[in-house]
Amino acid sequence: MKIPYDATLIVCGPLIMIYFCCLDLVKAGVKHEGIYISLEGHMKCEIDKSGHCNICHKYVCRDGLIFTYAEKKE
Ligand code: FES
């Protein structure tokens, strides 16, 4: 399947699935800024207390549930 370079895509699910799905989308030629990832499954307390949702110096519960792949690719 051919995906346009300027497509906007949203990926959600388990973290490992998001990771491999994003790798495949990048390999298919989709730009990093066009891939949005939903990380709500990574939260625990949802009130900025446990630190469970910390990914790359950002808290999913505090900083937002949706990030671009360009923000989180590391
Ligand atoms: S879910 Fe607990 S700190 Fe974000």
The reported pLDDT for the residue numbered 17 is 94
50 close to ligand 1 (CB < 6 Angstrom): yes
pTM of the model: 0.77
The reported pLDDT for the residue numbered 10 is 95
36 close to ligand 1 (CB < 6 Angstrom): no
The answer to whether the CB of 72 falls within 8 A of the CB of 56 is yes
Q: Give which of 23, 57, 21, 55 is closest to 39, Cα–Cα.
A: 55
Residue 23 burial (CB count, 10 A): 12
SS3 state at 15:
helix
Mean pLDDT per 10-residue run, the chain (74 residues)? 85 92 92 90 84 86 88 69
The reported pLDDT for the residue numbered 74 is 62
User: What is the per-residue burial (b if ≥16 Cβ within 10 Å, else e) of 33-50?
Assistant: ebbbbbbeebbeeeeeee
